[in-house]
Structure formats: structure tokens, C-alpha cells
Structure 1
Amino acid sequence: MRALGTMSASSGRFLHRSGVAVLTSCLCLLLAAACTAFPEQELTSYREAYLEAEKAGDLLYDELSAAVIRAGQAPAGSNCVRGTRAPACFDPDVARNSGKVADIPSIAARRTALAAVANYNLAIVDLLEGKRGDALSERIVTLSGIAGDLLILGQIASGPLPALVGGQSAALLGNLVKQLDAAVSAQQARETLIANEALVEDMLQALIDDTPGMYRLYQSAQGKYAVEVELAGGTGNKAARAEYAKIGAFHDQLTAYVKLLDQTRASFRQLLVSLKNGTPTTADVRANIRTAIEIRAAAEAFWSEVRKASQL
């Protein structure tokens, strides 16, 4: 893919702003004059929120991957992971992966889908900010590579989870990769993102629909492990109670995660409206301020559940 258009200045630091600060700052801009560009604080809030959503999913998939290992449905190298007093074997691949077993393809596909959604949204934010040239090209190349990986991974059914992507979504992914690779201007990138909005909607819905299966798998594996701990230490021992409690905590985290995905979808739809409108209107800015605050709140609610779980 060639560089997209000409480079424009894109200044400012990535600052952590509370929802109230973002709202107050942007409302002041609205009162002062008709907005012709999105406030930088708002776009920064979007970037941080989408990355938070990706990190949230990764954490849940870490826990799910551990459940897969406990259920005996992971690669053979899982027996070589430290955590037991004496690992049964040594696997160089586990050592290369910082002591973790590599994801089975179905879990890797789910992580990649989250990365695709995040980078798709971030590409829209880049365009709304006015990024061009190498800055935009880098994002588009990254998104194209992620989409290509997902196209391959999403069609591999392995282990206890079904393939995440197939049928129409797989066809859309293939088209997206081709169109992004062929884009030679910011306008073409903009048209490509707008034309493929159904893909993000499909992936977000697939991730949401996937959560009952995630819970069933975790409940089964974690419950089995809790019983083993209980049998080893006696009925009602503290360690066993803590392991049982993790099942309810995972349920609460999944609840918060679904709300975060729902809010991500709402903000994606609003970003697309703004992208289609070209020059943002006052109504666009107001709507984007609201969704930026709401997605931040949803992310904070998720991490609150994570903190509760860490205290078990």
C-alpha cells in the first residue's frame, strides 16, 4: 500500500481525562463557536476507550485459556507450565512465550477480532482528526494485516470453542483486506471504512453471542478444579471457596464486558455518522462527546469488576 495523501500536523499529547472534564471542555467550545472539528480531548478519550476494550477482552481470554488448560483441551505444552510444584515436562515454545501456552486458534481468533474492531475504530478516529500520509498509512497497513490474520484464524474450528468468523463475515474480511491494500488516498480509506461497516457490526455481535459459550466453558473447568481443591483440603476449606467464587466473578466480568461491547458498538455507529457527514456539525460533536463519556464509563465498570475478582 502506498502513502495516503500528504502529511498534516497532528499535535497534542495522549492525556488521561475524566468524562466530566471532557464534557466540560467540549461544551465550552460549543458555546464559544460552531465547532468545525472534533475536540482533541474527545478523540483522545475514544482512542483510550477502544484500547481499554481490547485489554478487557484479552484479560478474559487469559482466564478462558487457563480454563481450557484445566479442562485438558489445550496443547500438550500446557503440562509444562509452572504453577504446579513440579511441571511434568519442559517445552521450549512455552519458554519462548514467557511461560504461557500459546492460544488455541479459536481463542487467538477472538483476540484478533477485538484487535480488528479496535483498529477499525481508531482508523476512523485518525481520519476525523485529519491524519494523512505515513501516520494514516501505518494504521491502514496494521488493520489490513489484522484482518488478514483473522480471516485465517476465524475459520479454524479447534478445541472447545467454534470458529468465530465464517460465511458472510469471512467474505467481508477478504474484501476489506483487498480494498485497504489498494487504498492510495485518505478519501479511498474513508470510503473503504464506510463501505465495510457491516463487518464491525457482525464481529461485535459475534463476540457478544460468544459470551454464553465462554461462561459455560469456564464454569465447567473452574468448577472441576474447585472440586479437586475441595477434595484435597476437606469440605468447605478456604482455598476451595475462593476457587468456587471465581466462577461468579467471571460471570460478573462477562456482564460488564458485554456492556462495554454494546457501548463500543454505539460509539462506532456515531463515529460512522460523523465520518459520512464529512465536516462535523454541532450535533455530531455533542453526540460524540456523549458516547465518548459512556464508553469510558463502561470500561471503568469492567475494571471495577476485575478489581473485585482480584480480592478473592
Structure 2
Amino acid sequence: MTPVRLTRYARGGGCACKIPPGELEEMVAGLALGTPPAGSPPAGDETMIIGLDDADDAAVLRIEGDRAVVSTVDFFAPVVDDPYDWGRIAAANALSDVYAVGGRPVMAVNLLGWPRDTLPMELAREVLRGGRDVAARAGCAVAGGHSIDDAEPKYGMAVTGLADPARLLRLDAARPGLPLSLTKPLGIGVLNTRHKATGEVFPQAVAAMTALNADASQLALDAGARAATDVTGFGLLGHLYKLARAGGVTAVLDAAAVPYLDGARDAVRDGFVSGGTHRNLGWVAPHTDFGRTGEPERLLLADAQTSGGLLVAGEVPGATVIGELIARTVPGPVIIVR
């Protein structure tokens, strides 16, 4: 079978396809989905611990005592041309939302959109196989799912997990005096954009995207961390802004300490920057003091990641410390880049 450039069938790619964060927040404003309507019967011990308020990575519902269920969903258009790798990346990305709140994924269902008259179904099978294999590595069962005939190929998972309500990682738990740790290097977005435009393959990006955040999540919990998020479509700056805003703190980011994948700086220099990255930068810029940080560095810090690492308020063994949280001065920036 002749190789197919899957990324040519996608308007965007990976988590750069997300609706821009500013537009998304306006759209869901006032939709307190975690609050039952007036007149609803009492829910017993069921309590929405993490809902829509701060746009955390997953919803968490206490079901009884020390048990909570975690629920999330994530899907996107092809980010790489290899269908098996795309399936692995999409699954790792969806599972990451459970790890980002301190949970353990236990079950997932597939979500697949496929242009059946345009692309061979054998490719769809490879996508599903990739997702199954990564879920198996995570110890997460995959039980069917849902598919539609779609003009643009899309794949992802709805994931259910379990967590201890007393040991969660959440956005609003960020506090002054804590270091900021990053568990994966940045640059995934610009390398994927270059891949889509040129067909060049970047194994270092695929390796980063298919690496599970399971160990990083457990290490963060073991170290006593209580605030975290994963770095995906809104870029490091966007997710850092959400974390600092929810905690009422200011994040001081040491730009020189941020790790990048090989080739990331070259990709920015050569103009391989997605529209999502530009939108991310436009969203956070009014809330950020960039000092003397130049445009290429700003774009890298706002680079729309797919299946990125965890950003943790606290020290995590093996992670890179990239800054710290300090008390917020009002008025004042939410992020300071030095």
C-alpha cells in the first residue's frame, strides 16, 4: 500500500486544533455543570470535587469515602503521518488528563471519525491498534467506543479513572513559595508543524508524545505536590497562566531553564509555528511581563504541545525546575518571564 500523508487530511494537528482558550472560556462561562439543577434529588455521598470552575484537566466525583471517579475525553486530527504512532500519541494524550489530577486510568472507550470513502480502513485499524497498545501499557482496559463517517480523520479516547479525594493534583492548590517543575521538554508543536509541512520525521517528538505521565504523576503525589496540570494545546504559558490564576499567585518563569527537544529552535527560526501557538501567545500576553524575552522564545514558551509533560507546583524527582510561585501583587502580572 502506498504510504499516506495523514496530516494532509487535517486542517490543524494534534492539540493545536483546540478552540482558542479565550473563546473557549467565553463559551462555557456560567455553565456550572457540576451543580445539579434546583429540585434535583439529594446525591448522597456523591460530590463533584473538581468540575468546570477552573477548567482542570479532568472532572473528579467523590463516589464514597476515600474513592473518587475521574472522567475526561480528548481527541484530535492527525499529528503525524504514521497511523500507529498517531493512535499511540492520541491515547497517551487522553490518559494524561487522568494523571494530571493524580488519578489512575482504569477504562477507556475509543472515539473515531474516519473518511471511509477517502482513506483505507486498514489505516483506521492501525490507529486503533496504537491506542490499544498504549492503554495496555497504562493498565487501562479499552472497551469498544464510537465511530462516525467524518470528512476529517479524528481519534481519541474517553477515559475513566480512580483517585483518592485526599490526594489530588488540581489547579487551585498552587501556593506561593513552591518551585515549578516540568517533566517533559517543549518543542513538540513546532516539530509537528514542520513534519506536516515537509514530511520530515522527528523520532524525539514521537518518543516524547508517546511517553506516559504515569510515573511523573505518582512521583509528584509521593513528593507531596497538590497542584499540577499537563502541558498540551495552550502551551506552557497558557497552562501556567491557568494554574497561577486559579491559585491566586504569580508564576516566575526562568526561560533559560526550560528544556527543549532537539530541533525545536531551528523549527521556530524557519517559521514552522502553528496558528494555535500564535493564539496562545496573544491570550497570555496581556497577563505576562516578558521583560527582554524575544519573540522566538515567546513562541516556544507558547508552543501548542500534544501529549506534553506535567507542570507541577513542587519538586518532582527527575523533572526540571523552571521557576517558582510567588505572592500576587494586585495589580500585577500573573506570569513574569526572566
Give the TM-score of the pair, scaled to structure 1: 0.25
TM-score, scaled relative to structure 2: 0.24
Higher Rg of the two aligned structures: 1
- Structure having the higher helix fraction is 1
